[in-house]
Homo-oligomer: A and B are copies of this chain.
Amino acid sequence: MNKIYNPTRSQWNEVLKRPTQTIEDIEATVSEVFNEVSQKGDEAIKKYTSLFDGVDLKNNKVSNAEIKDAIKQIPSELKEAINTAKNNIEAFHAAQKTNGIKVDTVNGVSCWQEKRPIEKIGLYIPGGTAPLFSTILMLAIPAQLAGCKEVVLCTPPNKEGKVNPAILYTASLCGVDKIYKIGGIQAIAAMTFGTETVPKVYKIFGPGNQFVTVAKQLATRYNVAIDMPAGPSELLVVADETANPSYVASDLLSQAEHGIDSQVVMVSTSKEMIDSVADQIEEQIKGLPRREIAEKAIENSRLIYVDTKEDALELINEYGPEHFIITVSNENFYVDGIVNAGSVFIGDYTPESAGDYASGTNHTLPTNGYAKQYSGVNLDSFMKSMTFQKITKDGIKNIGPAIELMAEAEGLQAHKNAVTIRLKDLK
């Protein structure tokens, strides 16, 4: 584990460096799949499902029978847990609804702003070792609350052509009924272009491996929006001498088990705490089923000591962590001062995994420093704000002359004319 003491400002860049990702070499593959899907639709999907997922599917749409079957397979305890999470996520995202706003900026000039749903949404849910059914809750719940008309979900089939039942159960619980057994690049391409069976969507959400990441980037060249740029998941914990080292270690490890490229950082104003947490990590890592992954991530982790909380805050804002745990006596100093973070977890009893699953906040968050300029997924991610204006005769008389002057100064005579022609009639 890397312990770093009082890095100078000129070392911050190096200290806060994230693992570099190389994507150039897979762009060619992604382009090829996109081209073929755009031209051949379902035929290309079939081919790549066979090639990449090792299964030949007659039908890529999940049937009602498969969903019913999945519902039966989920133990009632897990169903209840998922329901608890669903209720909390629903409550928190429903509270994010905003009313339209309306302002008469000048007498006779009414302007208003309203949010309307993005009509067609695509969700990508990875399969593989961890079936991320929790991500369905995080994406499908706000999509439904926003009023999106069409929600499409793609997830890869396993070698038997099946989808994990927890994924089907959760999708069905959230009212998603267009579920397709399509994975990776070909899934993103299908939702980007549409095929005979898969509807084209306007915005694609969801995590994935590097192929999915590059495919989502490419999708943006074809008039599709994506939730946010992707990067490996990351956690930064700030802990002073009052923190509980075994809790901090458990949180750092929960992040480390995500992948070998996960980012795990601790910042502390206590050298003792750094040592204790390091010891606890060594202790706790032993029992983990995903120990190998966690160990590699921990190798790249950093435990950073700084003298003052002011330095700590500045360093943290410079990093802009996806997840930020605050476990110090003076919580408010960091709560008030943090500007760049995706989601913030406060106090001893608020582990990151609470937000990952069930507290109610969204777990789709900006990584890779993007917390500096991107929001995590929230209700607004599924809507767009539109503006409206209605001007009366008096209104155009009031602001018309200003428009004429400005249009003329910008050299745009036809813009001016559109006002002049109306003002003339009103004389």
Contact = CB atoms under 8 A, between A and B. Distances in A.
Interface of A: 77-78, 80-82, 84-85, 87-88, 91-92, 95-96, 98, 101-103, 105-106, 109, 111, 113, 116-119, 129-134, 166, 202-203, 220, 223-225, 229, 246-247, 250-251, 253-254, 256-258, 284, 287-290, 294, 335, 338-362, 366, 368-376, 378, 380, 384-393, 395-396, 399, 401-403, 405-407, 409-419, 421-422
Contacts of A87: 105
Given A91-B103, A349-B422, A355-B387, 13 more contacts: A109-B354, A109-B360, A111-B361, A113-B361, A119-B340, A247-B418, A354-B389, A357-B407, A358-B403, A374-B384, A375-B386, A378-B385, A378-B387
B388 A344 contact: yes
Contact of A352 (B294, B356, B375, B418): B418
Contact of A254 (B258, B348, B385, B418): B418
Contacts of A81: 401-403, 405-406
Contact of A410 (B130, B386, B421): B130
Contacts of A413: 257, 288-290
Contact of A101 (B96, B101, B224): B96
Contacts of A203: 373
B134 A414 contact: no
Copies of this chain held together in the complex:
2
A370 B223 contact: yes
A249 to B, nearest CB: 9
B88 A109 contact: yes
B113 A414 contact: no
A193 to B, nearest CB: 13
9 nearest A-B residue pairs (beta carbon): A105-B360, A88-B105, A81-B402, A351-B418, A81-B405, A353-B415, A250-B418, A361-B387, A346-B390
